[in-house]
Amino acid sequence: MSFFDRYTQLGSQFAVMHSPRLANSVNPEKLNLLLWNEDVANKYAIAIDKGQAHLYLSGHTPLKNSTASALAYSGHQFGHFNPTLGDGRAHIIGSFNDNSGNTYDLQLKGSGATPFSRGGDGLCALGPAVREFVMSQAIDALGVPTTECLSVVATGDDVYRESLLPGAIVCRVASSHIRVGSFQYLALQQDKKGLQQLLDMAIERYYPEITAQGDDRLVEFLRAVCKKQVALIIHWMRVGFVHGVMNTDNTLVGGETIDYGPCAMLEGFSFEQVFSSIDRHGRYAFGQQPNIASWNCARLAESLLMLFAANEKHAVERMSDVLAEYASDFNNQYQLMWANKLGLLEWREDDASLLSELLGILKTEGLDYTNSFAALTNLTFENPLSCFEVPKELSPWLPKWRARINEYNRSQVCALMRSVNPAIIPRNALLEQVIQDYYEQGQSKLLEHWLPLLKAPYQYQEYEQCYLEFTSKSASYKTFCGT
């Protein structure tokens, strides 16, 4: 297997060669491979021996033919532009091609300070590393595009947060680390050549169907990115994922979920649900996610303007037309998503009242999003499971829904609902328990039982209640960023 770098060719210090903190450190026996994702290793045919993984995936031993680097990027954080972000605690240790010739990056997170650390320690505590390991696998299994997690290595060193915590290094596999903020960075440098190269790299990786040249190429690229963002956000809304920090530097132009910092799962249904402790105004609330993704696409559009041959007014008009398509594209797919969740093969105008009545009851009665749709799905089974029960508060609504789905073939309705409504999700309290287990024991029996279930979320089987339990405390659950 050969590794290479693909970002150092871009100018403007886009990728800065930089070694991880533990590179060739004298004390590798402290390193411990705590979590290893065999499925990811196999999927990408990553030829790193598990017995040596603690050395390579902590940054101690460099991968052959590759040089570690940290990437520069800018970004709008909570709406405010920050020109100098970048990998402050991450290193790309190499890129590789999988068996189909698609390129991926291996990136370490928590691997030490870089030129972009802005005073931060460059480290990651064990808890957030475990969170990323579990959440990224669960989100992948839910059918949502995402970066993946290969491993977590415990460093044996402490990290100073509110208290002293054990440190860890995550290894992430991503189809690229090209963010909206990457384009913003090169646009800010007025680096037209680098911007063009980055555009070509992104098109080659994600949108090879774009063959247009000149200004049309820019327009087609923006359109393709918008479509991928729409698809991603529809998935998030379908499964109840609240990302929590949808800054432009956390938005990949390939449309994959990245950065599992303050994310959490919606339990009690509410479009206003916010978990992140720093999101005081609900900018990234569950129901805000579609608008924010659109806003982020607009920031990408701005960054591309300088590449237009046409004058700025004309360029802005062309990009604005593409951005305007986002809303209608989103709304069409959003309706279809709700239709499918309800078991309807198509969306009709009068389905809006059926849906809003249901969501209204879920919200006012504080009912669980996943369990409610799973219980409806369960009603369509020949032999319903006993672990899912339709909440009594839905009784007045049920006959209306039944009348509507009776227009279709029952087995089709059942198959449809089962394919879009997960039975099991990474519930916030259970994830906290797993993290606690790792802090206290360096392992988690709970995770051993839970992870196989999370990896088959549409299986529908008799689950133990502990995996389905939703406590109303969940609404006040808080997550923390950059911890």
Mark residues 190-229: x for contact with ligand AMP by CB under 6 A, - for none. ----------------------------------------
249 is catalytic: yes
How many whole angstroms separate alpha carbon 198 and alpha carbon 188?
14
Q: Which does 368 bind (CB under 5 to 8 A by kind): Mg ion, ligand AMP, none?
A: none
Q: Which does 105 bind (CB under 5 to 8 A by kind): Mg ion, ligand AMP, none?
A: none
Tokens found for residue 137: 């696998």
Among 10, 34, 85, 374, binds ligand AMP (CB under 6 A): 85
Q: Which does 197 bind (CB under 5 to 8 A by kind): Mg ion, ligand AMP, none?
A: none
Closer by beta carbon to ligand AMP, 183 or else 388: 183
**Residue 128 Cβ vs ligand AMP, minimum distance, rounded to whole Å:** 9
How many whole angstroms separate alpha carbon 313 and alpha carbon 164?
54
Burial class (CB in 10 A: 0-12, 13-18, 19+), 140: buried
The CB-nearest residue to Mg ion is: 259
Nearest alpha-carbon partner for 170 in 116, 126, 119, 122: 126
Closer by beta carbon to Mg ion, 107 or else 250: 250
How many whole angstroms separate alpha carbon 463 and alpha carbon 452?
12
Which positions ≥6 away from 470 have C-beta within 8 Å? 267, 268, 368, 370, 371, 427
Subset of 96-135 contacting ligand AMP (CB under 6 A) = 117, 120-123
Tokens found for residue 97: 């091609």
Which residues of the shown chain bind Mg ion in the complex (CB under 5 A)?
250, 259
Does residue number 70 form part of the binding site for ligand AMP (CB under 6 A)?
no
Does residue number 87 form part of the binding site for ligand AMP (CB under 6 A)?
yes
**How far is residue 139 from each of residues 132, 193, 447, 454, 477, measured CA to CA in Å?**
10, 36, 15, 9, 19
Which positions ≥6 away from 381 have C-beta within 8 Å? 414, 460
**Residue 285 Cβ vs ligand AMP, minimum distance, rounded to whole Å:** 17
Sort strands 241-242 and 264-265 into parallel, antiparallel or unpaired.
antiparallel
Does residue number 481 form part of the binding site for ligand AMP (CB under 6 A)?
yes
Whether 260 and 238 have beta carbons less than 8 Å apart is answered as no
**Residue 120 Cβ vs ligand AMP, minimum distance, rounded to whole Å:** 2
Among 137, 151, 155, 250, binds ligand AMP (CB under 6 A): 250
Closer by beta carbon to ligand AMP, 390 or else 481: 481
**Residue 14 Cβ vs ligand AMP, minimum distance, rounded to whole Å:** 14
Does residue number 172 form part of the binding site for ligand AMP (CB under 6 A)?
no
Tokens found for residue 230: 């729409």
b or e along 333-356 (b: 16 or more beta carbons within 10 Å of the residue's beta carbon)?
bbbebbbbbbbbeebeeebeebbe
Q: Which does 429 bind (CB under 5 to 8 A by kind): Mg ion, ligand AMP, none?
A: none
Residues near ligand AMP, by CB under 6 A: 85-89, 117, 120-123, 245, 250, 259, 261, 481-482
Looking at the annotation, which residues are catalytic?
249
